[in-house]
Amino acid sequence: MQAQVEVGTMAPLEMLQAKSEVASRDQLLLSAQDIILDNEDKLKNILNYAFDSELGKKRLRPSETAKFDPGTEGTLEEALQVSLSKRPDLLVKKKGTR
């Protein structure tokens, strides 16, 4: 980029804007990585892993990749019906009232 500025094919302001955009994206990346680490710590806390234990020091990795096919999610009503049919607390109540 500096060479383009020197030969006149790019304005110095454009280079400054590009550097600013890179710095902004770097900041977003660091923030996202911090959120991931914070959520890992929260999950380890829920799982009752001592942070100084062998399990507590390991990074958590998903055992399988999430599957998402855009356009196959259906309607809000369908999503609510599926989610309500799988809630453990409601399933227990259904069994208790029969």
Which pLDDT tens digit goes with each residue over 4-36? 766 677 788 788 888 899 999 999 999 999 999
Predicted local confidence at residue 50, as pLDDT: 93
Quote the pLDDT of residue 66: 84
Q: Is residue 93 part of a domain?
A: yes
- What range defines the domain where residue 78 resides? 2-61+74-97
Flag whether 7 is in a domain: yes
Alpha-carbon distance values, 48 to 39, 43, 44, 55, 61 (Å): 14, 8, 6, 10, 17
67 is a domain residue: no
Is residue 39 assigned to a domain? yes
CA dihedral 64→69→75→76, nearest 10 degrees, is 40
66 domain-assigned: no
Answer whether residue 12 is part of any domain: yes
Residue 98 has pLDDT above 70, yes or no: no
pTM: 0.53
User: Is 27 contained in some domain?
Assistant: yes
Say how many domains are in the chain: 1
pLDDT digits over 51-76, tens only?
899 989 999 888 898 887 877 778 88
The answer to whether residue 89 sits within a structural domain is yes
